[in-house]
Structure 1
Amino acid sequence: MGHLTGFIDIQRENPAEQHPLERINHWQEYQKPLTEEAIKLQASRCMDCGTPFCQIGSIIQSNTSGCPLYNLIPEWNELAYQGKWFEAYQRLAKTNNFPEFTSRACPAPCEGSCTAGLPGQPVAIKNIEKAIIDRAFQEGWVKVKHPVKKTSKRVAIIGSGPAGLTAADDLNQHGHRVTVYEKDDRFGGLLMYGIPNMKIDKKYVERRIELLSKEGIVFKGNMNIGVDISLKDLKKEYDAVLICTGADKPRELPIDGRQLKGIYPAMEYLKESTKHYLNKQYSPSISAKGKKVIVIGGGDTGADCVATAIRQGCKSVIQFGKHGKLPMTRSEANPWPENPQIFTLDYAYEEAQSKFGMDPRQYFIQTKAFIGDEDGNVKSLETTSLRDDQSESRYWDADLVLIAIGFEGVESSLFPAIEKKQNKISANDVDFKTNHDGIYAAGDARRGQSLIVWAMQEGKKAAKEINDYLSKLQ
């Protein structure tokens, strides 16, 4: 235990951030790393609990509590406090294939279940993790790691998101010959095209892909399995196939006017934006420049749309949510160690408030219809309040609408021979097998829309099952 009363005597410190009005002028990460001494102090706040709830990885009241990767958080906190950075990295890498991803893209349910959060503020676990992995790359400790032995078994992984990459990494280290197929032109799945660059710089994704390639994994882009090559033919070529395509079928909003121009799924918009960022020669089909933007959906994807629209130079931006404003502190219905459902001012909302003078979120909003002009473009939205005392319609000007209400699952036409249930591939979380021998599924394609840490956990577990399956083949 770093400091016996550290969680009481030492205040939580978050990284300094570039001012919102400065950072909206670029697409780079905007948090400034804490100093080494500050990280040590933050690590000393860890209580080294007898039962470390930070790593339980459970679902409580439909929300994630603790780390599904079961990261050895108290152990690497103690090592960071002692300044034993290499040993801290070794502990971190035992359970987490890609800490540079999770320390940037994960919402940190580990902190929500941190015991220190009961009397005060939780340990800054995510920032400590980021400091450890960034230090490891800086010092050259993250090296190409070739498998100790090679087998003749071949595995195809469909999808290069967190689940697919994690499974590929583990199966490659088991000695199998792994090929990752990706329908897009770049690898990383939502890490590449679903999360804006200011939250996770794409250079970190590309760095890891390059490392995995050097370790022997083959990556094939622009390959849409089911279109360019059938799943049946793929299985003939490989001893096992793992489907990690994600749950990228957007949930629709089937209301009047949906056919109007200027209305898009949020992920399509974010993907176009990132493609243009990475290749200035690419002309995006969607842009918020000079437009009145409305984002429908109150989650993280909606917030990313708000931040992206501001950087593109929108005239205004508003975000609709069906639920009310969250409380400032935990309610009795949301006790520890559940993930706290409390009000926060996310990075996108700070930026909107600085730029336009108001938090863009509107609560208890139900969209009733899209209204168009004579040329078939959306020009306004009709909404009603979900509050019992407010039922009259309200109209909002808009010429770009982004629907960010989640995902239904995989496309129903994808892999027709594979059984699906409620738009998810039918495979349990014990052996991850589909209804076809040697074909497995993991990540969002199997469990539905979830967090990066659940996708990585499933990738690891599926890799173990596939390795066991391959070891029994002649």
Structure 2
Amino acid sequence: MGKSTGFLEYDKELAHVREPLERIGDFNEIHGMLSKEKQEIQGARCMDCGIPFCQSGIILNGAVSGCPINNLIPEWNDLIYRGKWKEALNRLKKTNNFPEFTGRVCPAPCEAGCTAGINGPSISIKENECSIIERAYAEGYIKAQVPEIRTNKKIAIVGSGPAGLSAADQLNKLGHNVTVFERYDRVGGLLMYGIPNMKLDKNIVQRIIELMKEEGINFITNTNVGKDYDVDSMIKEYDAVILACGASKARNLDVPGRDLKGVHFAVEFLRANTKSLLDSNLEDENYISAKDKNVIVIGGGDTGTDCVGTSLRHGCKSLVQFEIMDKLPLERAANNPWPQWPRIHKVDYGQEEFEALYGKDPRVYGINVKKLEGDEDDNLLKVHTVDVKWEKSQNGRYSIIEVEGTERIWEADLILLAMGFVGTEDYISKAFGVELDKKNNIKAEYGCFRTNVDKVFVAGDARRGQSLVVWAINEGRAVAEKVHDYLLK
């Protein structure tokens, strides 16, 4: 459990983050790492709390608190403190297939549930985790582990995001023959084309993919199952199929002028930017550029932040980020106690960069788009908005009320829609004949993962809807166990 008095003796110290005005000049990762000695001190801060909520992964008030994959956090914190890094790796890998991903892009619900965080700063769990895996690579602890015995079972996994990769990793370790299908030109799904390089360097993704190939997993890219790969043939050829294709159907903006030139889904913008960056360092210009444009990002989540950060790196003329919700409080409200996920105002890397440039936060809260206006050639020119407030009805539900007299008009050349996702792509469910739930996700019970179609399972965002990378890993591991049981019958 680390040093029992460490949280009293040592201050929380995080790794260096590159200065905003420096990092907006490139797409390199923004976070560094602490030295070995300093990281071991951070491991010592893990207190002997008795009940490690950090590894609970429980849902409280609609959000997860603690780690959904139940990482053995106190154990590997203690091992870091004692300088036993290889043993810490072994404990970490027991529950987490890809700590190099979660240690970079997970929002760390573990730290929200950390007992030390009740009256002070939590343990730096996320950075401790990342340091374990990166030190393991540096020290040569990570080596391909090829199964000694192979079964005669063949499994197809549709989608190479975190759910598909974790399922593939688990099933391959059990000796099954796994083939992962990816519709784009590079493996990684969300990890490759959904998260910008400054948050997750694509060399980190490629590093694990090469290791998985060496361990015997087969990857097939540029293959869109359900469109250019026959589903019936797949079901006949393979003993089981796992749909891990994500929830990539973006929520649209239903207002007049939506079809004007210059209005794009955030995923289109981010994917094209990353592909061009990897293909040519943006020299091929095969991406949606924000350079010298008045940019409006609609949506206040992680994807919206990524659009802000990317637009700033392009050299946009101006930028504003619309959020239909009210601004959250700076501190926990009375109805949001520990160990619930803290619903408080946060400044992410994109907003921090904008503020460094312009001295203010780019976000405008409580605002709704009414219509878009263009010129005679259908080029986007203006955005019409109105301020809104949220009122609670007698039945406890909130509704949006427009505030009279708050209409505004904004200049815009580029709108990026980052309003979340509404389920998996329609063609996937139609091609496989799988049922959908009320939220347009592929229907299957958690813990079972079987669809209404024989042999076909589903996991990750395709089943649960838009969620965290760590939940995708959770479901990928769990569906692998159920597929293994199914194949043994």
Superposed pair shares fold, TM > 0.5: yes
* Residue 440 (structure 2) aligned to one of 423, 429, 432: 423
| 2:397 paired residue number | none
| 2:293 paired residue number | 291
2:386 maps to 1:384: yes
Per-residue deviation, 1:329: 1.3
Q: Which amino acid aligns with 2:342?
A: P
What does the per-residue CA deviation read over 1:166-190, in whole Å, with 9 as the maximum and x for residues that have no partner?
A: 0000000110000000000001001
* Residue 442 (structure 1) aligned to one of 441, 459, 484: 459
**Residues 399-410 of structure 1: matches in 2 within 5 Å?**
399-410=413-424
1:435 and 1:283 mapped to 2: Cα distance? 44
TM (norm. structure 2) is 0.95
1:74 and 1:196 mapped to 2: Cα distance? 31
| 2:408 paired residue number | 394
1:293 and 1:389 mapped to 2: Cα distance? 24
| 1:304 paired residue number | 306
SS at match of 2:320: strand
Number of equivalent positions: 472
Q: Which amino acid aligns with 2:452?
A: N
SS at match of 1:370: strand
**Residues 63-462 of structure 1: matches in 2 within 5 Å?**
63-280=63-280, 282-387=284-389, 390-391=403-404, 392-416=406-430, 417-421=433-437, 422-462=439-479
Per-residue deviation, 1:322: 1.2
Per-residue deviation, 1:415: 3.1
Task: Choose 354-363 or 381-390, whichever is displaced more.
Answer: 381-390
Q: Which amino acid aligns with 2:253?
A: L
1:389 and 1:162 mapped to 2: Cα distance? 40
Task: Choose 408-417 or 131-140, whichever is displaced more.
Answer: 408-417
Per-residue deviation, 1:282: 4.1
Contact 2:112 2:122 in 1 (8 A): yes
1:180 and 1:346 mapped to 2: Cα distance? 33
Per-residue deviation, 1:389: 9.0
| 1:11 paired residue number | 11
Gaps of 5+ in 2: 390-400
Per-residue deviation, 1:17: 1.4
1:232 and 1:443 mapped to 2: Cα distance? 23
What does the per-residue CA deviation read over 1:254-303, in whole Å, with 9 as the maximum and x for residues that have no partner?
A: 11110111000101100011011101164324110110100000101000
Q: Which amino acid aligns with 2:478?
A: K
Contact 2:312 2:354 in 1 (8 A): yes
2:40 maps to 1:40: yes
Task: Choose 424-433 or 45-54, whichever is displaced more.
Answer: 45-54
Per-residue deviation, 1:8: 2.5
Contact 1:8 1:120 in 2 (8 A): no
Contact 2:295 2:412 in 1 (8 A): yes
Q: Which amino acid aligns with 2:153?
A: K
2:157 and 2:286 mapped to 1: Cα distance? 29
SS at match of 1:249: coil
2:427 and 2:150 mapped to 1: Cα distance? 36
Contact 2:386 2:402 in 1 (8 A): no
Task: Choose 64-73 or 406-415, whichever is displaced more.
Answer: 406-415
Report the aligned-residue RMSD: 1.2
SS at match of 1:156: strand
Using the aligned pairs only, state the percent identity. 52
2:8 and 2:366 mapped to 1: Cα distance? 38
Task: Choose 80-89 or 391-400, whichever is displaced more.
Answer: 391-400
